């Protein structure tokens, strides 16, 4: 999985602050001068009072790659956003490779037998797709593809919607794929605009909410959420300084596999490859990239 933040306003915190202070001033927003303290106060006030018009000013464009169609079916339900996704009508899936589908970590944790059964089923679907795509157009051949087929999607949304997504989907009740993306969004937000995304997280630890809204289907989920939130904050602090020193156009890359992904053991991988006769690695690798904007 690869999550890329590639478009945003670097000075969004100052922009929204100027616009907000202008609403209680005789001075137009473009002429207002704001201090760091002014920015801090206004962002805190806007988040506490949920002033959506203020948080609508910052905009973010993400591209998400190596996720399943199961994920994107959930993702596009965020309608206060714009989405553009890879088309399976015009793009043929290369099922001759062994990495065209997602393997859920829960299946990997079940052991090598369950993993082998799952992968063989996907490979069979891929073979049938190749047979069909030589007979009919991809628009109709795609019907045989499983929901685990990998895709990529680009999405644009404002800070208010991004905070909404993070708050909902960092919860441990959320489906694992969209939860992983949500934690990536939080880290990206904390690096580029730390004042906007400070205190943002799942409902149980959100500075505005502070109460569980999930079903607690995972044991000790609130404790796990707090631990992961602390980790994300530490990573943000670590990488923010490096990001600030980067030149425009450079890309900050953060491997989050250790915290959000799942890497299969080496002996597991060797035995799986031996059984399948394929060079395949079903591990979930998670990479966050942030492009330095001017």
169 classed as catalytic: yes
Joined together, the tokens standing for residue 2 give 């690869």
Beta strands in 168-250 (DSSP E): none
Q: How far apart are CA 137 and CA 221, in angstroms?
A: 46
Q: In what order do the strands lie in the sheet with 251-255?
A: 82-85, 150-158, 59-68, 2-8, 287-291, 251-255
Active-site choice (69, 169, 179, 195):
169
Contacts of 155 (CB under 8 A, 6+ apart): 61, 62, 64, 75, 78, 81, 82, 83, 84
Q: Which residues are catalytic?
A: 169
């Amino acid at each position: 999985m690869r999550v890329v933040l590639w478009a945003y306003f670097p000075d969004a915190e100052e922009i929204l602050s100027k616009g907000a202070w202008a609403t209680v001033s005789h001075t137009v927003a473009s002429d207002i001068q704001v201090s760091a303290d002014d920015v801090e106060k206004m962002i805190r006030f806007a988040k506490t009072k949920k002033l959506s018009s203020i948080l609508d000013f910052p905009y973010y464009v993400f591209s998400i790659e190596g996720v399943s169609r199961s994920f994107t079916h959930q993702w596009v339900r965020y309608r206060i956003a714009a989405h553009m996704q890879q088309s399976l009508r015009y793009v043929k899936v290369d099922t001759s490779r062994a990495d065209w589908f997602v393997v859920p970590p829960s299946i990997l944790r079940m052991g090598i037998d369950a993993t082998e059964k799952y992968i063989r089923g996907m490979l069979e679907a891929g073979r049938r797709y190749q047979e069909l795509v030589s007979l009919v157009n991809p628009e109709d051949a795609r019907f045989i593809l499983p929901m685990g087929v990998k895709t990529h999607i680009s999405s644009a949304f404002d800070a208010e919607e991004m905070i909404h997504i993070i708050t909902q989907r960092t919860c441990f009740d959320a489906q694992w794929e969209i939860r992983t993306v949500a934690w990536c969004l939080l880290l990206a937000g904390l690096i580029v605009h730390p004042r906007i995304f400070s205190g943002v997280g799942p409902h149980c630890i959100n500075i505005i909410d502070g109460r569980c809204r999930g079903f607690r289907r995972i044991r000790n989920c609130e404790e796990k959420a707090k631990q992961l939130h602390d980790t994300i904050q530490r990573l943000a602090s670590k990488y923010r300084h490096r990001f600030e020193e980067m030149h425009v156009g450079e890309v900050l890359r953060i491997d989050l596999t250790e915290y959000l992904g799942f890497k299969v053991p080496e002996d597991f991988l060797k035995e799986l490859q031996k059984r399948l006769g394929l060079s395949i690695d079903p591990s979930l690798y998670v990479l966050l990239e942030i492009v330095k904007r001017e």
